[in-house]
Amino acid sequence: MYAPSASTLEAKVVILGSTGVGKTSMVVRYVQRTFSPNGTSTIGASFMTKKLSVDNCKVRLQIWDTAGQERFRAMAPMYYRGAHAAILVYDITSEESFQDMSSWVEELKKNMTEDLVIHVVGNKLDLASTHRAVPLRRTQEYVARTLGSDCHTHEVSAKEDDGAIEELFLQITQTLVGRKFDTERQRYLKQTNPVMIQETPAQSSSCCGV
């Protein structure tokens, strides 16, 4: 019986979304557990790393924070390359940032692999009671229609440490680790249960043609 052993995984996660939605703040909240209200826009892309252990697997996440400005869009495919997961971020207080999601989804579909893990995240949940512009239900319906039922939606606050961002990255990591173990399990089964090739006996011939 197959039992996963202690192993390691290095995974690349890209963060996408328009400028000002709080992508960098989300990454900093997750990696450094801090929040700066005076963050600056990312130029090109930057990345941070986060180490964690999930299901007896030591994981090192490379989290790429990409620029949202239009002038950097042409560079984006370079950062998608080799990604295992993508997080699409919008601002729940900004209708414009939600409308921009369609172009990010289109861009991602052109460059993604079939098994890319995708999560859609509405940031700035701390402002929901007074400034919400995008209902969660609307996001869920949009995601189901454009990305399918396997794509998860979340609402988080990079400003308030309520654990939602931690849970977001944990879900992504658990999915990636699960896939790794599934691949290893299939490899193990192939090695321990080789396919038996049966030889077809040659047909005997008769001098009488019968």
In angstroms, the CA 206 to CA 155 distance is 78
Helices (H), the chain: 23-32, 76-80, 95-99, 101-111, 128-131, 136-146, 164-192
In angstroms, the CA 201 to CA 194 distance is 21
In angstroms, the CA 107 to CA 101 distance is 10
User: Could you tell me if 132 and 151 are in contact, meaning their C-beta atoms sit under 8 angstroms apart?
Assistant: no
- Give every CB contact of residue 165 below 8 A, 6+ residues apart in sequence: 26, 29, 30, 156, 158
Nearest to 113 by CA among 71, 176, 32, 162: 176
What local confidence, expressed as pLDDT, does residue 3 receive? 53
In angstroms, the CA 58 to CA 115 distance is 21
pTM: 0.83
For residue 174 the two structure tokens come to 């658990």
For range 15-33, the mean pLDDT: 93
What local confidence, expressed as pLDDT, does residue 45 receive? 60
User: Could you tell me if 85 and 55 are in contact, meaning their C-beta atoms sit under 8 angstroms apart?
Assistant: no
Highest mean pLDDT among 141-145, 158-162, 180-184, 192-196: 141-145
The crossing angle, in degrees rounded to 10, of helices 164-192 and 23-32 is 70
Domains with residue ranges and CATH for the chain: 7-192 (3.40.50.300)
pLDDT digits (tens, 9 = 90+) for 76-122: 667 778 899 999 999 999 999 999 999 889 888 888 788 999 999 99
